Amino acid sequence: MFAAVDLGSNSFRLHIGEPLGARMHIVRTARDPLRLAAGLDSNNMLTEAAMRGAVACLHDFRKILDEYHLDAVRVVATNTMRVAKNADQLLPQLEAAIGYPIEIISGEEEGRLIYMGVTRAIERQDERRLVIDIGGGSTEVIAGTGPEIHLVESFGIGTQPQARNYFPDGRITARAFDAAVTAARARFEDAASLYHAQGWDAAYGSSGTMRAISEVIGRNAIGDGTVSQASLHALRDILIELGHVDAFALQGVKRDRVPVMVGGLTVLIGAMQELKVERLHAVNAGLRLGVLSDLELRANRRDRRDAAIRSCMQRFRVDTQRALRTCGIATLLYERLQPQADSQPHYLAWSAMLHEIGLAISMSGSHKHGAYIVEHADLGGFTTREQRLLATLVLGQKGNLRKIREALVEPDLAKAVLALRLAVVLMHARADNDIGSLRLRMKGKIEIDLPPELLARHPTLAPWFEKEECSWNDVGIAFQAK
């Protein structure tokens, strides 16, 4: 049983799901429409009231999570936490309240998870599809075939800024509405040709705002009763005639969600016009179902982060055999160092596979180039925090250790750094098949037993270990190789 918590810009939501064959059975849901994006001031700072509301919500969510025996929990935060300048101040409070780490995911990762959720709900393996998800602060558009994603982009436009900028007092005029649609079209126009090139058999809308619009159109027989451009314009005309969000009394949407729906409608019309989508289908699936599906994949040892690493290696033409050799040595040495927890092996292996990625830029300082690429590349499935960890390991693979001194305070991470550095040395010296008798320990200080016959067969190892001694001693960790 898995749990997904979505800290969205419009609302915070919780899903607890249990896989049943190809389906994910949702056992429990919870929602708090706290409108976090509305708590951003003109400087993109979250107000104290908004932060207090967010913390209180997660305290309540924790009580629900504690009622279940869960195999994995994943908490993701989206656009508002991405743009809030004081997110670093709020994040520790939120993590303390929910009791789990919180991942502020990129817009592209959000789009991938949304697509995974839609794919899980539709199960048409060969269908070419376009998915549009309009959130409180951003809109994700994804094109793919079956489970495979071809194109994913996150656009910085959502329901909250549209409502705030064009309907600040709740009044709805034709002039304001058309200006909002034009602004939305401008966001999508540059990318439109990329999506047209992909093509699709069907288009889907996956957000709560999308489902609210669909519900209003269907229940009130607006236009042709479907989410088509004709129906959206008919809904627009009704809103303009009413003149104010408070006057909206049609079935299908709660009164407090009307401003959100109006802002989302302007984004949807703009997106459908630019992308040339005549009609889409609203589906009750998206980010949370995608997170649950991703947790299930990881539990079944089908981690999509592995695919992201392979794709990155291919993109930068990494020598696969050298990467595999380094990965094998690093993993073996890390096990010999007897780490306290099992949190680092995956990250060590992934960083070893990418340790030479910087050679795509220059041999000189390749570890620095590689660290930058790893931290900033679009790696599906990885959070910003995880990519920073990989970048730290890649940066620390050689050279002085002062640049990652703070990371070495964590014992298992220091062992991972040592394992990768030694693996790089042994791989370069072509001694990776000759380390059966190599013994090493790291408890306060580093002790390495170097058999004389190993140094005799690989004479270049001696100067490498002398450099390692200087590097570790420089950051206050004693290093003894004998």
Q: Kindly state the helix (H) or strand (E) to which residue 299 belongs, with its residue range.
A: helix 287-299
- What are the structure tokens assigned to 381, written together? 């499935």
Cα separation, 309 vs 345, in Å, equals 15
Angle CA(356)–CA(362)–CA(366) in degrees, nearest 5?
A: 40
Q: In what order do the strands lie in the sheet with 439-443?
A: 439-443, 445-449, 479-481
Give me the CATH code for the 123-284 domain, please: 3.30.420.150
pLDDT of residue 128: 94
pLDDT of residue 75: 96
- Of 3.40.50.2300, 3.40.190.10, 3.40.50.261, 3.30.420.40, the CATH number of 2-106 is 3.30.420.40
* Cα 341 to the center of its chain, rounded Å: 24
**Are the C-beta atoms of residues 358 and 366 closer than 8 Å to each other?**
yes
The residues that bridge with 280 in the sheet, in sequence order, are 227
pLDDT of residue 382: 86
Q: Mean pLDDT in each 10-residue stretch from start to end of the chain (482 residues)?
A: 94 94 90 90 93 97 96 94 94 95 91 92 87 93 92 93 92 96 96 93 92 93 94 95 90 84 95 95 92 89 85 93 91 89 81 95 93 91 88 94 92 93 86 76 87 81 87 90 78
Same fold, 2-106 and 301-435: no
Cα separation, 217 vs 112, in Å, equals 28
pLDDT of residue 345: 79
In this structure, what are the phi and psi dihedrals at residue 7, rounded to the nearest 5 degrees? -95, 80
Cα separation, 158 vs 133, in Å, equals 10
Domain segments of the chain as ranges? 2-106, 123-284, 301-435
How do strand 445-449 and strand 439-443 relate by DSSP bridges?
antiparallel
pLDDT of residue 405: 92
Give me the CATH code for the 301-435 domain, please: 1.10.3210.10
Neighbours of 451 (CB within 10 A): 14
The residues that bridge with 171 in the sheet, in sequence order, are 244
